[in-house]
Structure 1
Amino acid sequence: MTETALGNKLPITAIILTFNEEKNIEACLDSIYDSVGEIYVVDSFSTDNTLSILKKYPSVKVVQNAFENYSIQRNWAFDNLEIANDFILNLDADHRVMPELRDELREYFDKGVPENINGFMASRRTMFLGKWIKRGGHFPVYHGIIFRRGFGQCELKKYDQHFLIKGDSIVLKSNVIDIITESLTVFTERHNKWSSLEAQDFIDYQNNKGEGRVQALKDGNEMEKRRYQRMKYYSYPPFLRVFLYFFHRFILKGGFREGVPGLIFHFLQGFWFRFLVDAKIWELKNEKKE
């Protein structure tokens, strides 16, 4: 049996995670509100105006669950929500589904999604200080944004999680906009926290070889290829790989062509953050020796 569009809305359930997202949630919802059949917001007890804003959207189903980490929250939603549709769209509050992506999905569902297709992948358009960062190897970067219920889960990582999809996926041509920061202060605070998670994830990966994660496969799907590139990066000597990575992104991949926003982004995300991760890996390894 194939999955087809019903009426004006796609037979898709969107799940959005929130915590204090008053600046983002409205634009996120507006990008899908009239297009998908069901929307859940899983909120981690926001203390700003997020919940008040959600009241403007009467059909949105709001549930609250204490946040432990991204993977656990996502998988809790899959296991506990009464999801009406066979396909699940996973979004964060700072994501925006482009009209072209909605149209592309409608074409697939109007024709009927083949039984062997259990997911859809799309690239994100990173927006940083109002600029689309499309050079420096940062676009396209594919993520599994939709999967068939029962055939997907969030991988067990503390940072930079992808969705494990069982079976075949379609790679979409259109994108999801990702508003990655509201200010440089927020950006650096988040990446300082994320560098600790990434460092611990790397230590965990060395210990259990990536159980419950997207596999690093040179000839796999787009996410698996990306993970292969990430693990190849980690095969190079610590700290030296940071300089090589920044040179690759900023010079060889043309990041320097994106002006001041590109310089700031590629230096902070492609050098400072990566250097901080290596420093914290070194710190963790040396703590264990003491």
Structure 2
Amino acid sequence: MIDATAIIMTKNEEKNIVQCLESMKGFAKRCVVIDCGSTDRTVELAKANGADIFYHEFEYYAKQFNWGIDNTDINTEWIIRLDADERFPEDLKDEIEKCIIKNFGTDMNGITISADLYFMGKCLKYGAKNKCKMMLFKKANGRIEDRRRDAHSILNSGYSEEMKNKFLHYDFKNLDIFIKRYNWYATREMQDYIEYKNGKKEDNIADKDIQQTKNLKFNVYYRFPKFLRAILLFIYVYVFKLGFLDGVSGLMFIFFDTLWYRFLVDAKILEYEQTGGPFEKLSACE
């Protein structure tokens, strides 16, 4: 067991929450569930599986997670950033424990893990295989950057180690929920882009890989013309990253995750540029 608290944000996750919490048993000292209004058995099941429950109105992911860091009485050295549809297999947990012991007393303040991403029951091995995030960081040195979409875990000092083993990400309930969620993401992505264009100050990020990803997004991808960039991204992931080898499931995921989603973001950027006005406050939590 490591000296860590897992923070999990939920709304209507009764399908996922039990297995998520079970994957933390014997590994994290404590699990905190921050719910934003579940109407199913999520809270009941989380309590039954030993989680501490908190309620907080949802605005966007980073703000909700950072609220959890500051308001749930965390006294462990490490924080685990975990979604309800994510699991830590045993080999990954063993690797993390060994890494923490090996690097005790160093400036290793974060741990980055890649995902085995499952969509419509299939593990995607090609186009989407490199999705990863910093899932553990020391409370004294880490936080979630203040962005509405694609918010990275960031360190104020030190470095992160990348694990060889992967976590499991079951990124699918049904198409209705998936499409609704991506539409919700697209509005937040538009808001982040507009704030960036208007000169919003960026967080200071110690992790060079995360900074490189942000630079590619805002200084390369967004320099291409609207809509064309979504098409080019789809071609890159589906063809050049061999996403077509994942069959129909791969085609569907890459289409929605790149072409459809990024096209929708550009449409919302164009709409905002034409109409202006204040950002819509989105309080839904899915």
- How high is the TM-score relative to the length of structure 2? 0.90
Q: Which 4+ stretches in 1 moved above 6 angstroms? A: none
Taking a change above 3 Å as real, the CA distance of residues 181 and 254 of structure 1, as seen in their structure-2 partners, is same
Q: Which residue of 2 aligns with 1:224?
A: 211
Distance (whole Å) between structure 1 residues aligned to residue 131 and residue 250 of structure 2: 17
Q: Which residue of 2 aligns with 1:142?
A: 132
User: How many residues get paired?
Assistant: 275
Distance (whole Å) between structure 2 residues aligned to residue 110 and residue 243 of structure 1: 45
Checking the alignment, whether the CA contact within 8 Å between 1:20 and 1:47 is kept in structure 2 is yes
Matched, 1:199 2:190: yes
Amino acid at match of 2:91: E
Q: Which residue of 2 aligns with 1:270?
A: 258
Q: Which residue of 2 aligns with 1:36?
A: 28
Checking the alignment, whether the CA contact within 8 Å between 1:89 and 1:147 is kept in structure 2 is yes
Matched, 1:91 2:98: no
- Measured after TM superposition, the shift of residue 112 of structure 1 is 4.8
**Aligned positions of 1:62-81 closer than 5 A:** 62-81=53-72
Q: Which residue of 2 aligns with 1:286?
A: 274
Provide the identity percentage. Answer: 35
Distance (whole Å) between structure 1 residues aligned to residue 204 and residue 117 of structure 2: 23
Checking the alignment, whether the CA contact within 8 Å between 1:157 and 1:213 is kept in structure 2 is no
**Aligned positions of 1:1-290 closer than 5 A:** 9-58=1-50, 60-136=51-127, 138-166=128-156, 167-212=158-203, 221-231=208-218, 232-288=220-276
1:169-194 deviations in whole A, cap 9, x for unaligned?
11111222121121111111111111
- Measured after TM superposition, the shift of residue 214 of structure 1 is 5.2
Q: Which residue of 1 aligns with 2:283?
A: none
Consecutive unaligned residues in structure 2, runs of 5 or more: 278-286
Checking the alignment, whether the CA contact within 8 Å between 1:214 and 1:223 is kept in structure 2 is yes
Amino acid at match of 1:269: D
Distance (whole Å) between structure 1 residues aligned to residue 40 and residue 70 of structure 2: 27
Distance (whole Å) between structure 2 residues aligned to residue 27 and residue 213 of structure 1: 35
Checking the alignment, whether the CA contact within 8 Å between 2:3 and 2:28 is kept in structure 1 is yes
Distance (whole Å) between structure 2 residues aligned to residue 118 and residue 205 of structure 1: 28
Taking a change above 3 Å as real, the CA distance of residues 213 and 268 of structure 1, as seen in their structure-2 partners, is farther
1:31-60 deviations in whole A, cap 9, x for unaligned?
1122111211112232210111123223x2
Higher mean C-alpha deviation, range 169-178 or range 258-267 = 169-178
Distance (whole Å) between structure 1 residues aligned to residue 89 and residue 82 of structure 2: 12
Distance (whole Å) between structure 2 residues aligned to residue 97 and residue 227 of structure 1: 26
Other structure's SS at 1:201 match: helix
Checking the alignment, whether the CA contact within 8 Å between 1:214 and 1:227 is kept in structure 2 is no
Distance (whole Å) between structure 2 residues aligned to residue 39 and residue 214 of structure 1: 27
- How high is the TM-score relative to the length of structure 1? 0.89
Distance (whole Å) between structure 2 residues aligned to residue 152 and residue 34 of structure 1: 23
- Measured after TM superposition, the shift of residue 70 of structure 1 is 1.1
- Measured after TM superposition, the shift of residue 264 of structure 1 is 0.9
Amino acid at match of 1:165: L
